[in-house]
Each structure stands twice: as structure tokens, then as C-alpha cells.
Structure 1
């Protein structure tokens, strides 16, 4: 590994969302095009817009470093054309070899496969990766973190949007390891009695009621919603219930497949066949159809398409899990052999974000923008996981009782493994050490900040 890649790995840079794929690995391949994904198609999230407006030089710097490393001659920033203020900022900052891809305000504009196709006219091979067609793609925050890591500044904070049933929605850089309850308190507190927190956006995020959980490098948003809301009700269904109901109620209308963004791109995903497999399953309602394997879990079939209110997305997700456990997954070559041409009606089946928000019953929150907040934090402690990404957890290099400062290495990347380093996000003393490093400020540190 060359010195530049070592810096990115040591700086702890990963994809700031999803599974958190380590960025240094993406930089090991050659590419013709580098794409920054700023489409941010999840309703109510605002972090990418704030980042692009406030940190455009760092974004451009990170893209230029990535382009040099992978040998790309072209850079693209994907952004929805409705964000005129952000576009104006970027136009003043971008060099000649980086262009803006202005996209419609539809879901899922920010999906990796959608973004790559819109930017290049080529599709990622089914079961393959962007690098297979000469593309490197990452989100905006990752490129900013890459730029900083190249200067020896590690990842210690993450940009998070807090929205929904809170007094004052906001977007802010926050220390990794800060608890959900502390983050939400910055928004003035919760405005409903019975609530859940969606980690991420309402479409692909997961639901929790555990506010002691820490934010991590992949945290993008905390959306507070009533426990009785449509989003919470759907996401809280048990696997047994969604399979049982799907087996008895699906009428095979196939709208889930007809509207599936990946199917419209020609990938061999057929949610209605995953639902059909339930109807011919045994008493355990198991599903092992390979028609579910290419599902991206964008959740559009569940949240938008199904007229019966069923959950094809989760049926596909659990089916993929079961296929994997039973060694029944198709190879990339087999998946690619089933790939078809892009559907001629694809452009007419895109879902406008406003209409999607109405269906999700979150449109009432959209009149309030989660503007940038620069909080004066006085945290007593943070709980920093040693594993915040796909791959091997970092190895602790501190012990209980050690005094650490913000940015100091507390977990080293594992040699010869998919792994990145982890750093302290506040000054303090290590008080607990397991798979999580707990750092607490002493009384004098708290008083001096």
C-alpha cells in the first residue's frame, strides 16, 4: 500500500453512510470517472447540502486527490437541480475537469446504480462494483474526510441531521460517540409523547427506541417520529408477521416490480416473485427465490408501490439473507446473464420526492429546514465503537486510565485486513474498554470548556 493510501486508512476514512466501506480500498483501483454523490434522496435529510455549501473547497480537494490517485480525468458531482444555492456555490469552486450533474427531485436519485448510470450512461454490472466500469463513487462527506486525512487530520466528527418531532431541526458536525439522547437534546427536545427514532432517512433507515446508542462515522440523520406513524408501523413489523401477511394477502399485481428502480435499470430483481415464493412455502413461510438477490433495499416497493400495504422490500432482504446462509446466491456472471435492457418507461416511473413524503406522512415536517448548527458542546463522555464499518474492527491501542486528546489514535487498523483506524473525539480519560472505548472528561476539563 502506498503512502497516500496509508494516510487515508490511518485517518479512519470510510463511506459516511451505508455499510461504511473503507475509502482506501476504493482508491486502490484505477478509474476514468470519480463521482461525488450529493443527491441526498432521503426525505428530510440536509447534511449533504450543508457540507457542499460550507466545505466546497475541501470537497473539491478530496475529489482532486482521489482523481489523481485512481488516474481519472473526469469528476462529477451529483446534485438535485432544485438546490440552486448549493449549485451556485459549487459552480464558483469547481475546476474544468469536474462537472455538475443536475438531477430531478425524485427517489432514489442518490442510489449508487442510478447515479452511475446518469453520470456515465453505463450500468454497474449486476453483482459487480462501480470499479468494474471504471468508476469510483463516494458520498460528499467521505471526500471531505479524505481531504483532511491527507493532511493528517483524522475522522473524529460526523455530520448529522436531526428532524421530525423535535423543536428545532438542525444539521451539525458532532463528535463520534455522542449518544442519541444528547444529539436530540440539541434540537430542543422531542415534541411528542410516544416516539421512535429512525437512524438515517424514512425510506432506508432502521427504527430504534434506544437513545443511549452512539453516533458513528456512518450516522447521517436521526428522524424522530410518532410510534404510531406509518413509517414506524411498517419498520416495526416482525419478520414472522410480514411473511405471514404477505403469504395470505399478496394478489400478484406486480406493481412492486413494475416500479422497482433497479428493475427499470434492467437488473434481474423481481419483488413480486419473492412475494409469490411465500405463497408456495411451507409452514415456516420461507423464501429462497433468487429473484430477490439483486434488491438494493431502497424500500420503494413497500413504502410506495404495494396497494395492499405489504412489505416486499423486507421479504427480499430476508430472502437474500437466507440465500446466503444456504449457499444459493447466484454468481455475478449468472446475475449479469439475466440482466436486460433499461426499461423504456423508466423516466416516467420516477417518484417525485414531494409525493413520496405525502405517502410517508412526513410532509408536515418539510416546512422547517435543518439549518447548520454550531453547538457549544460540553460532553461528559463519548462511547466510540472500534467497529464502525464493514470489515475488521480496529485494535485498541489504549488502556483504561489513559489520558487521550481529540484526534489521538485509540484503535489501529488491522494489518492485512479490511480495516481502518479509530480516533478519540474529545479530550479525556479512557474509563471503559471492550468493543467500545468510553472516554470521560475530568471535572477540570469540563469546567475549562
Structure 2
């Protein structure tokens, strides 16, 4: 069976971002195939763990994908500070005689943003509203590469490695079945040290926040990489939960038009016409210059503008999110820009040092937390979302009462559709089919 078909059958999606279906992404021919192993969000360790424990699989899969996409250059991007991982991968590359090269990046945020990464590696900025393919590259997360290797072995995506960190008794790396509850993952780390807490699913800059009482109802998806437990009154939590009406009122009363949000924005620095300070002025002055507002569509929501740049503690990112939603309601979408971009001269000097960012986020007490060796979790019940990716949800192909086995397809998309197949992550009986397929274990571990 062809590699793309194996990837489609296995339901592989991007493991480090929004979950772009991989059989669609890799249906191309490019000059550069780039593996994102940077993991620039604070407190996350999952990709580093994968590199140290699945190095051979990564190198083998990258070589095969390189043949598939016809890439002349196979590049693993990794932070230069990750010396142990670099040494490990270099040894494997040499032993296997691989043509893969390592590209080391500084310890800054957002080094893991694919637009920054592509520019640093190949020297070409991606156009506005564009993708790496526009400049002859395709990028995959290191976790996706391991899933592709499994797909080569006819194994579907049914498990996920997770970092569980923050205010937990035993910060831990765990391997879990897709669909396990967030609560079970927190308990695997010994539970929280706090009576009440919030949980960030993903990184503190771009992750989703839920409360402790919601943890049982939220379930791990294919692209989740970490859980970070914090006090409910922590700066990061309160900032992400600020109501939009309060954000807009603060913008109207406190924005001083210093333009730091624009000058620190890496999309702007890459040459894109994204000027958050002008959008803030539009909001603050109750203007509705649609040409200015449409610039918000280029925002990647990295959070530098609100966490690091703004001296007034305002939230240009959340303003952009609000503006984007309003534009989408009107059917307005971003338009792809020109390849002829002028990268701003100051870009090299406006990369955010990770340690300073962690300090701004008030997360220093968790920096360098020792992470226990991984443990495998067994779930008595899983609830597997039919939509774990960009695109359309999978269509259920099982019904309540059906017996399913681990690895069996339970949700399907057609081969050419923007979506991904979904598989049972445990043996058991289907007890619910809604937007999630719920499976109750039969007590047999396979």
C-alpha cells in the first residue's frame, strides 16, 4: 500500500498544532521537508522525550516521507540548548547513513512557529495568509513523524504522549489512549497540590483553559501535548479568561498607541501587513476602517503582543480574535499576499528569550521541574471526538452496543476529504455516539 494511503488509513494529523490532516498535507512535491522539534511553548517536554526514545523511528520515517514529497533537503529543526537530543539524533543519523541535517535554533519564542522556522531555514518569508508550500516547503511536528512511522507499520493513531506539569505532586510524562479524560491524566501525576485549580491543555501562550470540575468531561485528542495545572487566580489563567467587553473597554481607555504590539509582532517583522496598534486604535476610537480590521485575519494568536509587548497590560491578541470572529460572520476571509516581502530589519533583535517570557508569565517556579519517566495509562472508558483536526468531522461507522477492538476504525472520512479517520483506543463496547464515540472497556487489555 502507498505511504499516503497508509497515513490516511491511520488517521494521522498534525500533532503539534491545529491538527491538519497529514494525508492532505503530504500530497505535494517540495524542495524542503522540515520537522518541527523546537517545542517553544514554556513547560512542555513531550517532543524532547519522543526524540530521545523514538529517534530511529523518526529518522526512518523522515527518509521515507522525503522520497514521497521529492524533497532535496530533509531538516530537523531543534533548539540548540537541547544538547542531549541533538547528540542522540546525530548519532542515529550517522549510524544509518541518513541525509537528514539538523538546524539549531535559539532559545526564543516563537521559534516553533512554522513561519519563523521556514524563514530561518530557507531564507524566504511565507506570504500573508500563505503556507510553507508557497515557498517550496512542508513542515511536520516530530510527534506526527512517529505517528507516520506507526502508519508505515499499519498502526493507527490511538495513543498520545503528554507532559503533565505545574501544580501536581509528581510532574510526569504519560502515554495515554486517545479519548481518556483529562482528570485521569492529572491523577496519574499524583493529583494536584491545590484544592482548586485550572488546567491548560497545550502551552501557556496558546493553550485552552478548563477548570478542575470540567476535567472529567474533557478528553485527550490526537494533537494534545501537555497539561499544565495552575491556580485559578494565576496571571495566565485570568488573562486568557478576561471578557471581551472588558478588553474593549480597557482598549478604549488605556491604549497609548506606543505601537510596541506591532514592533514585537513576528508576523509584522516577517513583512506582513499586520499592525495590531492600528486595530487597537480602530477599536479604541470606535472606528470601523475595514481595511485595517482585515489585518487581524493575519494574526496567529501567539500572544507576544499581550504577554510581552504591551506596557499597559492590554490584550491585542484577544482583540484580534474578536475582530476575526466578526469578519468571519460576514464571510470575509484572509487573502493570500505576494511572495515579494520585505522582512523588517529589526526581526533578528526582537526574538523573545524563553526565560524572560517564562518570568513574564509568572511560571518560574515550574521552570526545570523534574519530569518522571513515562507511565502508560489504561482507561476504563474513553470518549473519542469525531473531530480532532482541521476540517470536517469523521462519520461514525459504529453504533451503540457494538463491540470494538483497539485500533478498529470507528469514524471515517473519504480519501480526498479534509478530515481524518478515527479509531478505537481500547477494546470495549460502544456506549454512546454523538460528537464523540464513547467506549466502555471490557476489562481485557490488548
Q: Given the two structures, how large is their TM-score scaled by the length of structure 2?
A: 0.95
Name the counterpart of 1:218. 223
The alpha-carbon distance between structure 1 residues 416 and 136, as it changes in their structure 2 partners (threshold 3 A), is closer
1:222-261 equivalence runs, <5 A: 222-261=227-266
1:396-415 equivalence runs, <5 A: 396-415=396-415
1:419, CA displacement in angstroms? 1.9
Q: Structure 2 unaligned runs (5+)?
A: none
CA contact (8 A) 1:386 1:437 kept: yes
Name the counterpart of 1:351. 352
The alpha-carbon distance between structure 1 residues 172 and 245, as it changes in their structure 2 partners (threshold 3 A), is same
1:28-427 equivalence runs, <5 A: 28-94=27-93, 95-209=97-211, 210-212=214-216, 213-281=218-286, 289-332=293-336, 335-336=337-338, 340-375=341-376, 377-427=377-427
Q: Structure 1 unaligned runs (5+)?
A: none
CA contact (8 A) 2:128 2:335 kept: no
1:288, CA displacement in angstroms? 6.5
CA contact (8 A) 1:394 1:421 kept: yes
Match of 2:18, SS state, is coil
Deviates more, 1:414-423 or 1:396-405: 414-423
The alpha-carbon distance between structure 1 residues 262 and 372, as it changes in their structure 2 partners (threshold 3 A), is farther
1:371, CA displacement in angstroms? 4.1
CA contact (8 A) 2:46 2:225 kept: yes
The alpha-carbon distance between structure 1 residues 285 and 31, as it changes in their structure 2 partners (threshold 3 A), is closer
Cα distance in 2 for partners of 1:317, 1:138 equals 25
Stretches of 4+ aligned residues off by more than 3 angstroms: 284-288, 327-330
Cα distance in 1 for partners of 2:414, 2:243 equals 36
Cα distance in 1 for partners of 2:307, 2:197 equals 19
Deviates more, 1:317-326 or 1:417-426: 317-326
Match of 1:336, SS state, is coil
The alpha-carbon distance between structure 1 residues 291 and 416, as it changes in their structure 2 partners (threshold 3 A), is closer
Cα distance in 2 for partners of 1:419, 1:348 equals 39
Cα distance in 2 for partners of 1:329, 1:380 equals 43
CA contact (8 A) 2:278 2:292 kept: no
1:165, CA displacement in angstroms? 0.7
Deviates more, 1:16-25 or 1:182-191: 16-25
Cα distance in 2 for partners of 1:349, 1:289 equals 25
Task: String of CA shifts for 1:286-308, please: whole Å, max 9, x gaps.
Answer: 99612322111110111111111
Count of residue pairs brought into register by the alignment: 440
Match of 2:437, SS state, is strand
CA contact (8 A) 1:13 1:142 kept: yes
Task: String of CA shifts for 1:276-322, please: whole Å, max 9, x gaps.
Answer: 1112217x999961232211111011111111110001111221222
The alpha-carbon distance between structure 1 residues 310 and 285, as it changes in their structure 2 partners (threshold 3 A), is farther
The alpha-carbon distance between structure 1 residues 181 and 330, as it changes in their structure 2 partners (threshold 3 A), is closer
Match of 2:52, SS state, is helix
CA contact (8 A) 1:288 1:319 kept: no
Cα distance in 1 for partners of 2:40, 2:10 equals 28
Cα distance in 2 for partners of 1:329, 1:403 equals 43
Cα distance in 2 for partners of 1:285, 1:438 equals 47
Task: String of CA shifts for 1:235-276, please: whole Å, max 9, x gaps.
Answer: 011111111211211010101111111111111111111111
Cα distance in 2 for partners of 1:409, 1:285 equals 49
Match of 2:298, SS state, is coil
Cα distance in 1 for partners of 2:258, 2:332 equals 27
Q: Given the two structures, how large is their TM-score scaled by the length of structure 1?
A: 0.94
Cα distance in 1 for partners of 2:333, 2:182 equals 37
